[in-house]
Chains A and B, each alone.
Chain A
Amino acid sequence: NAGVTQTPKFRILKIGQSMTLQCTQDMNHNYMYWYRQDPGMGLKLIYYSVGAGITDKGEVPNGYNVSRSTTEDFPLRLELAAPSQTSVYFCASSYLKPPGSGANVLTFGAGSRLTVL
């Protein structure tokens, strides 16, 4: 069981470039999330997915896109990278039962540190 695997671990982009952060989980979790964490700050939700084919915006979705074609994979696409997107990105997954019926323990990936220059 690898858990949540993110690639790449580090990346430097030039302004205006595009890239995709990959995320895959092998726990058969239905929910997947992308968070960003700016230096010394908390976790802000970018996008999340409740299952294959379904995605929803979080708190800070602008400048990003996601897709969820399979249960396992949830890539995050950055179009036209900007310095404000310099951050550490965490993918996470969880198995969420119907609302109110239980816990929602998130398993995080190791993070991807992105610098936009």
Chain B
Amino acid sequence: GENVEQHPSTLSVQEGDSAVIKCTYSDSASNYFPWYKQELGKRPQLIIDIRSNVGEKKDQRIAVTLNKTAKHFSLHITETQPEDSAVYFCAALGNTPLVFGKGTRLSVIA
């Protein structure tokens, strides 16, 4: 089955700097890669997703890149703000239900 590895597990950045979170997946049949943000005590919510026929997708300060050959995808957050502090999960969808990475706790220091 699918296996998703996510790095780093924790990340601290200064406000205004960029943050990058990386994920790798194992199943070459996976074709959909979402990112979820979970604020403390809240439910996970989708922030951006990418399909396998696209290499990059942007939404304001957030972007996701996908390298199908290497089986890895990344989340990029630019001009980080304190409200970006949260746990971020990547996931991959193939022939099985979404498989999530273990999460990255991002702290943005003002």
Contact = CB atoms under 8 A, between A and B. Distances in A.
Interface of A: 31, 33, 40-43, 45, 48, 58, 90, 99-100, 102-106, 108-111
Contact of A99 (B45, B95, B101): B95
B49 A33 contact: no
Given A41-B102, A41-B103, A105 B97 contact: no
Contacts of A90: 43-44
B103 A105 contact: no
B43 A109 contact: yes
Nearest to B6: A42
A32 B62 CA distance: 28
A42 B43 contact: no
User: Binding site of B, secondary structure by majority: helix, strand, loop or mixed?
Assistant: strand
Contact of A105 (B34, B43, B99, B100): B34
B98 A42 contact: no
27 contacts: A31-B97, A40-B105, A41-B103, A42-B89, A42-B101, A42-B103, A43-B89, A43-B100, A45-B97, A45-B99, A99-B95, A100-B31, A102-B32, A102-B51, A103-B34, A103-B49, A104-B32, A104-B93, A104-B98, A105-B46, A106-B36, A106-B44, A106-B98, A108-B44, A109-B43, A110-B43, A111-B43
Interface string B85-107: 00001000101011111110100
A111 B44 CA distance: 10
* A contact patch SS: loop
B67 to A, nearest CB: 19
Contact of B97 (A33, A41, A108): A33
Interface size class of B (residues with CB under 8 A): 20 to 34
Interface string B8-47: 0000000000000000000000011010100000111110
